[in-house]
Amino acid sequence: MTWRVHRRAGLGVAASGSAQPDTVVDMRLGLGALAVRIPCRVVYVVDEPDRRGFAYGTLPGHPETGEEVFLLHRHSDGHVELTITAFSRPATLLARAGGPFARWVQMAMTKRYLAAADQLAR
């Protein structure tokens, strides 16, 4: 809820606050002038006894149009599971031209989020 998973996954993060409805987060992937800008807005939060997380939707300037959900679920046996669900389509010419590479980047970032969450859980 505080963007630690995103930062640990290698993104630069500038947010107007923790993940709450309408929070704007401007992430960056890469360095300097080559960094890709990834602006999003939190669209909803899940805050239940055994489930916690949020979803954000892309904002203008994001290379894709879509949403991504990060949801932690604590099972009755104490096992904790993080589920990341994303749906999107290219929003820029560069993303459209990237085709399979753009999908690969999205899958690689999901793996980085999961690895970051695993590190933070230890």
pLDDT tens-digit readout, 61-86: 999 999 999 999 999 999 999 999 99
Report domain extents, the chain: 4-121
Q: What is the CATH number of domain 4-121?
A: 3.30.530
Tokens for 81, please give them. 């599971």
Tens of pLDDT, residue by residue over 2-59, are: 999 999 999 999 999 999 999 999 999 998 888 989 999 999 999 999 999 999 999 9
Task: Assign 3-class secondary structure to the chain.
Answer: CCCHHHHHCCCEEEECCCCCCCCEEEEEECCHHHCEEEEEEEEEEEECCCEEEEEEEECCCCCEEEEEEEEEEECCCCCEEEEEEEEEEECCHHHHHHCHHHHHHHHHHHHHHHHHHHHHHC
